[in-house]
Structure 1
């Protein structure tokens, strides 16, 4: 059995030990994860998925009056249905954290208001409670809403689907998070320069219950792998690792690089985006740079010198591990000497 979200293959022993066999179809669909202990944990939904559901419900309720559930296709390609409370152009959707125990946004209400567009066209307007960037970054200008590209694509796709289904000429949709500014103070947003509210995020559309459930299986996969191994930290890293190292087995380890390197036998490659990799090499890498994120650092003139310094220091500690750092477009921006 393979997880369609992470591409993780569950060991047969885990499947045999499952204490809730009736939930295995949810595991196969990606709605839940199976653990080594045999328990099944439900995935939650990201802020991006919640926002998309609220927006779609608001638009549909313009034509169909009351809407209690909507379908959303997540960035990872899986179709899900979420409950909403929508009536005459106004919809609420509450953030479902699944079995993730520490989600500060759990239960938070997302509100979308839709009005027909007389001139045609579709407009999405981020409103109250959605954070914005307090400074220019490599990918965002100061003042722009803190909405990731996958989340924004999901929201717009959901709105367009609703416009077609409702047979509207167009619509304007305003999204708000009434308690967004308050809850954002419990997140990292103030530290990384996102002001006034929450970020709308979601690379896959799901919130993982936690990543520890995969550690045992991942480490076993590393020990059993034949040939070269590429360890990567995220889905984009996994994609580019497979392209750059087609003869190697690419394994997604997330933030568990220390554990993964401990069980590698011989040479290995670490490949992925700079954030987790540089922070893994040196937790204080940003000290003295004036940057609040590694991605921001990678766009400054300091990047080349800092990356070269950290790669050389890491090579001393791990002489048999090659490191390849890529940007979001797959370009190599740092490599072991």
Structure 2
């Protein structure tokens, strides 16, 4: 059993991540005011000292602790460390993502006592503290003795009681409002300075700093305290899941894996390390990779097979190094699982190149190219240059960003010439023949893909079960309508279409359209909306109620039938012959033919979906990549 110590944004993310397993776990908070949607999680309330936490762990057979509490909850971290040591438990620390410390514009303080000392030293009289209600007591020497202090606190009765108990004047209390521009309160109070905690991105640190700088207000910030060294740090949902899979292999029914893009980025980082490892130290077994969501995971790389090369090529002095990662797709049935993803990093030098600058900079130039086993794009429509390597934009940016970050970490001076990263996949050309790549116009190898950097497999049974539970929660809110959407992108657009509905009313169906509508019928939901992108809509209109790409691909013969039955002309038929992906229809069809085609497509979708909801009303929204909606 797993116990999450939450009460934070990270706690919510941790609970959501464990929910994917479909198994029970515990979620503990000091109070009961945080709203957390859980189907399998068991809620615990109340502060726990060392004895309480040890007793809780023993009673509930806790095997793993996830400390997702506030970074400034020092006493709790110490308690967790002691109990984990006593019971021989692993502790995963769900840390926040922190921006680099700005030493130029921010006065940094070690703790509250240091903050009081520095604020007094600077003769600050009006101060706005954005450090939470608990800090009212810690800052008494300021607001009782020398400064006019304002505190912004949560609009909770418990917070008001705590402020009152400390004797803080109510007139100097202001309340936090979600999504409110930080400048509004600053413009109203015009303090000489603000005091903030190093609370990370999820704590709104950047927004507070930006607002204060814009208003010309001084900034004092308390550094985040260190957490115990025995904790295993992660800073996002993917890292949490991978660590849980490692510590408790049986918790998730299916193991997550890495995308080819993540493997390529890790190999590129390792090769960069090799290139500048002048002392020839042993290569680390794992390297950090920054994922598109901002979190960092560590990826195993293969042992170093050769030292970097250096020599003349085409009249230039060239240095290069190579590293590789073995693709681990987890339990996803990925044809590329176990393949070697190789990266070569090279930088050319000319004899007349100027000397590198003394200080590292952030504007390194990175060129990403494809080598052996990486396909070449031969048709438009994929959003990639025809004739270029089939390396999608997200993994391409991952490779560029991670190499740049590592160059900066290594303090490599700016180079006059670009770094060239060549990604290759030995055996990729043979493997690609067994994929849909040839149909998409990708020849000679596989494509380097990935949107999140992580492959999260779901068993059909577990995923459909989670859909049912989510819909039960949505129904319990009393929402007049349940809105089904395939994922985060389509949800963003349909939320704008139904702004009055609660968040719980929006349910992700993934690819299980038929099963999801049947669940709505079972639960006797009367009004259902299905939001769908055109790629899935084309598959659904042909009668495929499971639209996973491994189950069905776009059928051009069917597209022609739809166009003809919609009364579209020869120009539309010619477009269909040329397209690679269905989403191209949004931009390539005339406005008149697009409306006719989409209307016919929706009619066919209704033919297959309406019978699944016999006692309810089904609305289907067809959504473009830019959020245009056709009904």
The Cα offsets for residues 252-296 of structure 1, whole Å up to 9 and x where unpaired, read as 211001111112211122224221233122257632342443123
Which residue does 1:254 correspond to in 2?
A: 510
TM-score (norm 1): 0.85
SS at match of 1:99: coil
- Please tell me whether the aligned partners of residues 429 and 444 of structure 2 are also in contact (alpha carbons under 8 angstroms): yes
Partner of 1:223: 472
Task: Provide closer, same or farther for how the CA distance between residues 303 and 95 of structure 1 changes in structure 2, counting only shifts above 3 A.
Answer: farther
Tell me if 1:286 matches 2:556.
yes
Q: Which runs of 5+ in 2 are unaligned?
A: 5-10, 26-39, 42-60, 67-91, 93-236, 309-320, 354-363, 545-553, 561-575, 611-615
Corresponding residue for 1:276?
536
Q: Residue 5 of structure 1 contacts residue 76 of structure 1 at CA under 8 Å; is this kept in 2?
A: no
Say whether the 8 Å CA contact 1:130–1:180 is kept in structure 2: yes
Structure 1 residue aligned with 2:595: 304
Which of 115, 131, 149 does residue 393 from structure 2 map onto? 149
In structure 1, how many angstroms separate the alpha carbons of the residues matched to 2:17 and 2:517? 18
Q: Which residues of structure 1 form unaligned runs of 5+?
A: none
Match of 1:47 in 2: 260
Give the alignment partner of residue 325 of structure 1, picking from 614, 619, 622.
Answer: 622
- The offset of 1:47, in angstroms, is 0.8
Relative to structure 1, is the Cα distance of residues 13 and 57 closer, same or farther in structure 2, using a 3 angstrom cutoff? Answer: closer
Counterparts of 1:258 and 1:21, CA distance in 2:
38
Q: Could you tell me whether the CA contact under 8 Å between 1:238 and 1:272 is conserved in 2?
A: no
Give how far 1:27 is off. 7.9
Conserved? CA contact 1:55–1:114, under 8 Å: yes
**Greater RCO (Cα-Cα under 8 Å, separation 6 or more):** 1
CA RMSD of aligned residues (A): 3.3
Native 8 Å contact 2:537 2:601 kept in 1: no
Secondary structure at the counterpart of residue 298 of structure 1 = helix
Alpha-carbon separation, structure 2, partners of 1:190 and 1:325: 28
Q: Does the CA contact (< 8 Å) of 1:269 and 1:321 recur in 2?
A: yes
* Structure 1 Cα separation of the partners of residues 21 and 254 of structure 2: 18
* Residue aligning to 2:605: 314
Which has the larger displacement, 213-222 or 280-289?
280-289
Mapping 1:1-337, distance limit 5 Å? 4=13, 10=19, 14-16=23-25, 21-22=63-64, 29-31=240-242, 39-64=252-277, 65=280, 66-85=283-302, 86=304, 87-88=307-308, 89-100=321-332, 102-118=333-349, 121-137=365-381, 139-168=383-412, 169-170=414-415, 171-212=419-460, 213-226=462-475, 227=479, 228-248=481-501, 249-264=505-520, 265-282=525-542, 286-287=556-557, 288=560, 289-290=576-577, 291-301=579-589, 303-315=594-606, 318=610, 320-329=617-626, 331-332=627-628, 334-336=629-631
TM-score normalized by the length of structure 2:
0.47
The 8 Å contact of residues 239 and 296 in structure 2, kept in 1 or not, is answered as no
Shift of 1:142: 2.3
CA distance in 1, matches of 2:244, 2:539: 27
Comparing 292-301 with 77-86, greater Cα deviation is found at 292-301
Q: Is the 8 A contact 2:379 2:440 kept in 1?
A: no
Structure showing greater radius of gyration is: 2
Deviation, 1:3, is 8.4
Distance 1:72 1:57 in 2: 10
Give me the whole-angstrom Cα distance separating, in 1, the residues matched to 2:378 and 2:12: 37
**Do the aligned partners of 2:376 and 2:445 also contact (CA within 8 Å) in 1?**
yes
**Contact 2:369/2:421 (8 A) holds in 1:** yes
Is the CA contact 1:44–1:206 (under 8 Å) kept in the aligned structure 2?
yes
Report the alpha carbon displacement of residue 186 of structure 1 after superposing the two structures with TM.
1.7
